[in-house]
Amino acid sequence: MIEGVSAPEMVTLKGVTALKTFADFYGDPVGCVEKMYACHGPVIALNAPLLKPSGVPQSYLFVGPEFNKKILLNQEHFRPTGAWPTPGKEGTPLQNLRRNILCMRGAEHDAHLAAILPLTGKSQVRSFFDGAKAITAEEVSAWPIGETVEITHLARRLTQRLALELLFGSDSADESLEFGELVDEFHQNSWSRGALSFRVDAPLTPYAKLMRSAEALETYAKEWTAAEQRCPAHNNVRAAAANVALANGETVSLTQAAANVAAIAMAAYETTALTLSWMLFLLTQHPEATKALIAELEGAGSLSSLDADGIEKLPLLDGAVKETMRLVTPVPVIGFEVMEDCKIDDIALHRGARIFISPHLTHRLESVYEHPRRFMPERWASIKPSAYEYLPFNAGPRRCPGIWFASANLKIALATIVERFRFDLAPNTKIDRGYAATTIAKNGVPMIFSPRDACYERSACAGDIMRFFDLSETVHA
């Protein structure tokens, strides 16, 4: 806290208001935290005795860089809740898959993370540069011209191949897409509101669909991981996950290794695919920014002549990636379980309570970003927010290990697409926000690719996503 500035007061929502807020959060977490912050300020407690009759507020939202820092540095008391919300019975594939690196803590987490870090560091990612360019060129060259395509689908196919072939040692596009489809199905089913609210494994229920997709994924992930079990850990993520050195000297079980392989795969491709889709969407809304980006890329020569250093040196390309993740933050809300009674400032938190921070809200603070609702890739040439002010990849000891891999691949993908095509939204597009641990477009992002030209104009778009932005553009000289 800044000296002389008092801590923000906590507002506690109770009774019907708290219940209604819980329901809103369940339906639309991002819309709900926006409303909570606008109405009640940066520290809000929800106390709904009907849901947990302890009388103690059991959920909290903390907004802003200082709270982000306090919470993210306090690993002792807070455990991330993970990416797959619907629980299963102990020992089921569903529950096995949910118990993965994303929600581990302490020595167990450190051991699993240490195993994959050597594969995702900056220098290792540079060695993937040519492979990433080749996979991207192959995928993008198959994108049709003049037809309406669902860009998130194409982006997901691309990022599954990038992650699974380069990081996980998959042999072929077919193998990558087969595993990717199983992970994707499990991820979608995990976020089905039906499965979450009616957890009965009876024929035709969403929960049964989730259980079957968990069984199929676990079986495949175990076989796929076992195939690399005898290989050196530095070969790829599968080998690393299967050879984790646990603190007690034991070897990791295949069930645990497979759960990590599935979770890391999802963490790697899904976030990157959504960022690529939102980035193209934002460019369709900002023709001036797109033209400036094209000019920068043309000035740098063809993509095939660019190496890993060259692509790093393009400020608007870098800015487009960063600005997209600032404005449509892939993981907009991060939740934690309180593991022991503790305090944040003077606020007592009880064991079992849930706390949330919001990178989405932090990225829109006027105190940190000028014109926070505008898309301004050029701003990144002159700003350097702290790790707790800009945190699309989380921050602190649990910062995402995929930061270098994702950033490099997003730049390669955008440069490849811009070099080849003009892209517009399909006529009559309406984009509404959805949520599945990540910010998604409920019905996708329909786009049309044309042969490349410089005639960019803003594509018309309706839907609630438009409330996220102020479309005013800086005019580039």
Closest CA to 60 of 74, 78, 76: 78
Single out the residue of 19, 56, 113, 216 in contact with ligand HEM (rule: CB under 6 A). Answer: 113
Give the shortest CB-11-to-ligand HEM separation in angstroms: 25
| Secondary structure, 3-state, 191-239 | CCHHHHHCCCCCCCCHHHHHHHHHHHHHHHHHHHHHCCCCCCCCCCHHH
Of 10 and 32, CB closest to ligand HEM = 32
Site for ligand HEM contains 217 (CB under 6 A): no
Query: Minimum distance from CB of 38 to ligand HEM (Å)?
Result: 23
Nearest approach in angstroms of CB 398 to ligand HEM is 4
Q: Return the axis-axis angle of helices 403-420 and 287-299, rounded to nearest 10°.
A: 90
Q: How many CA atoms lie within 13 A of 141 on its CB side?
A: 6
Cα three-residue angle 205-209-210, rounded to 5 degrees: 115
Least distance from ligand HEM to the Cβ atom of residue 415, Å: 16
Span interacting with ligand HEM, options 65-73, 223-231, 262-270, 413-421, rule CB under 6 A: 262-270
Interface residue with ligand HEM, options 156, 187, 238, 398 (CB under 6 A): 398
What is the smallest separation between the CB atom of 264 and ligand HEM, expressed in angstroms? 5
Interface region with ligand HEM, contact rule CB under 6 A, candidates 51-59, 266-274, 344-352, 412-420? 266-274
Nearer to ligand HEM (CB atom), residue 112 or residue 209: 112
Angle between helices 254-285 and 315-327 (to 10 degrees): 110
Structure token digits, residue 176: 């990558």
Shortest spacing between CB 334 and ligand HEM, in angstroms: 5
Q: Which stretch binds ligand HEM (CB under 6 A): 54-62, 350-358, 395-403, 412-420?
A: 395-403
User: In this chain, which residue has its C-beta nearest to ligand HEM?
Assistant: 402
Pick the closer one to ligand HEM by CB: 114 or 348: 114
Query: Is 272 near ligand HEM (CB under 6 A)?
Result: yes
Window 399-418: residues binding ligand HEM (CB under 6 A): 400-402, 405-406
336/279 Cα distance (integer angstroms)? 28
3-state helix, strand, coil in the chain (%, to 5): 50, 10, 35
Q: Which stretch binds ligand HEM (CB under 6 A): 222-230, 297-305, 329-337, 381-389?
A: 329-337
Among 221, 268, 308, 338, binds ligand HEM (CB under 6 A): 268
Count the neighbouring beta carbons within 10 Å of the beta carbon of residue 461: 18
Please choose, from the candidates 316, 278, 312, the residue with its C-alpha nearest in 3D space to the C-alpha of residue 297. 316
Residue among 376, 186, 383 nearest 292 (CA): 376
- Please tell me the number of Cα atoms within 13 Å of 442 on its side-chain side: 11
- CA–CA separation, 474 and 176 (whole Å): 41
- Rounded Cα gap, residues 260 and 221, in angstroms: 9
Residue 434, phi then psi, degrees to nearest 5: -135, 180
> Does residue 330 bind ligand HEM (CB under 6 A)?
yes
334 contributes a contact to ligand HEM by CB under 6 A: yes
Min separation Cβ 406 and ligand HEM, Å: 3
Report the residue number, 210 or 406, with the smaller CB distance to ligand HEM.
406
Check residue 377 for interaction with ligand HEM (CB under 6 A): no
Which H/E stretch holds residue 12?
Answer: strand 11-14
Q: Does 128 bind ligand HEM (CB under 6 A)?
A: no
Tell the smallest beta-carbon distance from residue 422 to ligand HEM (Å): 24
Hey, what are 40's tokens? 């009640």
Distance of CA 87 to the CA centre of its chain: 21
**Using an 8 Å Cβ cutoff, are 319 and 378 in contact?**
yes
**Binding status of residue 283 toward ligand HEM by CB under 6 A:** no
- Nearest-5° Cα angle at 215, 210 to 220: 125
CB of 50 to ligand HEM, least distance (A): 27
Give the list of residues 6+ apart from residue 392 with CB closer than 8 angstroms, or none.
Answer: 325, 326, 329, 330, 331, 359, 363
**Is the Cβ of residue 158 or residue 268 nearer to ligand HEM in the bound state?**
268
> Which residues ranging from 84 to 103 are in contact with ligand HEM (CB under 6 A)?
101-102
Q: Which residues bind ligand HEM (CB under 6 A)?
A: 80, 101-102, 113, 120, 163, 264, 267-268, 271-272, 275, 325, 330-331, 334, 392-394, 398, 400-402, 405-406
